[in-house]
Amino acid sequence: MPELPDVEIFKYVAENATGQTIEEVDIKDKHFVDANDHNMKKYVEGNELKRVLRRGKYLFLNTKNNKGIVMHFGMTGSLEYRESDEEDPKYVKCKIRLGNDHFLFYTSKRKLGSVEFTHSIDGYISDNEVGVDALEIQEDEFSDKVRDSHAMIKSFLMDQSEMSGIGNVYSDEILFQSGIYPEIKSNKLDDEKIAELFKNMKKVLQKAIEKDAITQNLPGSYLLPKRDAGENCPRCQGKIEKIKVSGRTGYYCPKCQKK
């Protein structure tokens, strides 16, 4: 599932269209795309794409009249920017025609994402309880949230209302880099461990963005390139194990991340 690093890469893709007029928003799958055709035509089409914003796993295309297109990428969503003479990609759910004879394509193999219209990006973030972005949160706020949470630490990292952007995959890496067992209660971590967790969260997310969100391109000291039960831990060469946390399957090293 696309997480913060993936959506940051999609943001770079969408920024190719900044300053261009959105000529048409062509909804290819009306069962998938939660978008009002009337509002898209009235408020979006014919307006310039002023800027592209990201908050956690959400991408916002902000038009010059301060309306917006909201994209959430579900399990398999992606975004592509192509010239008009290029072939359309597969699995197109939404096709945005731009004034420079280019297109933005929202693609997804599965029906687990969304493209929506919003009158207010700030209002959408508030109404949908999208927490502070994991790359924007300050250490003091992060520390307070961890100390106040009774959730298991992996669940806390994935709680999009507390802090947005981190999902099942990158929470595993952040906890591995910090040597923290996934099921420990958040409020049981001491100040030193919380500070280490905050530092590694920023480090892992930035490194993933640097590597174009391709987990196999991450350093050899990272868990994700070998994220599977029975694989050798890149740190101690012990065996990686599978664990269920709040219904989600995660992976960890029991030697490096002791209970």
Q: Do 45 and 64 reside in the same domain of the chain?
A: yes
Tell whether 34 is covered by a domain.
yes
Q: Do 209 and 109 reside in the same domain of the chain?
A: no
- Strand 132-133 and strand 163-164: the pairing is parallel
pLDDT at 37: 67
Give CA 33 to chain center in angstroms. Answer: 19
Give the domain extent around 213. Answer: 133-252
Contact, 166 vs 3, CB < 8 A? Answer: yes
Q: Do 8 and 123 reside in the same domain of the chain?
A: yes
pLDDT at 30: 72
Q: Do 122 and 140 reside in the same domain of the chain?
A: no
Q: Do 159 and 236 reside in the same domain of the chain?
A: yes
Q: Do 34 and 142 reside in the same domain of the chain?
A: no
Q: What is the pLDDT of residues 48-90, one digit of tens each?
A: 999 999 999 999 999 999 999 999 999 899 999 999 989 999 9
Tell whether 258 is covered by a domain.
no
Measured distance CA(253)–CA(241) in Å, rounded: 6
Name the residue with higher pLDDT: 175 or 28.
175
Q: Do 195 and 223 reside in the same domain of the chain?
A: yes
Q: Do 96 and 210 reside in the same domain of the chain?
A: no
CATH number of residue 179's parent domain: 1.10.8.50
Q: What is the pLDDT of residues 104-159, one digit of tens each?
A: 999 999 878 889 999 999 999 999 999 999 999 999 999 999 999 999 999 999 99
Helices (H), the chain: 4-14, 37-39, 121-127, 139-148, 153-158, 168-178, 191-210
Residues in contact with 142: Cβ distance below 8 Å, sequence separation at least 6, in sequence order: 163, 194, 198, 201
Tell whether 240 is covered by a domain.
yes
Q: Would the pLDDT of 20 be above 90?
A: yes
Q: What is the average per-residue pLDDT within 237-246?
A: 96
How many domains does the chain fold into? Answer: 2
**Of 84, 108, 127, which residue constitutes the final position of a domain?**
127
Q: Do 177 and 216 reside in the same domain of the chain?
A: yes
Q: Do 108 and 137 reside in the same domain of the chain?
A: no
Q: Do 123 and 138 reside in the same domain of the chain?
A: no
Residue 81 — φ and ψ, nearest 5°? -120, 120
Q: Do 163 and 212 reside in the same domain of the chain?
A: yes
Tell whether 233 is covered by a domain.
yes
CATH number of residue 78's parent domain: 3.20.190.10
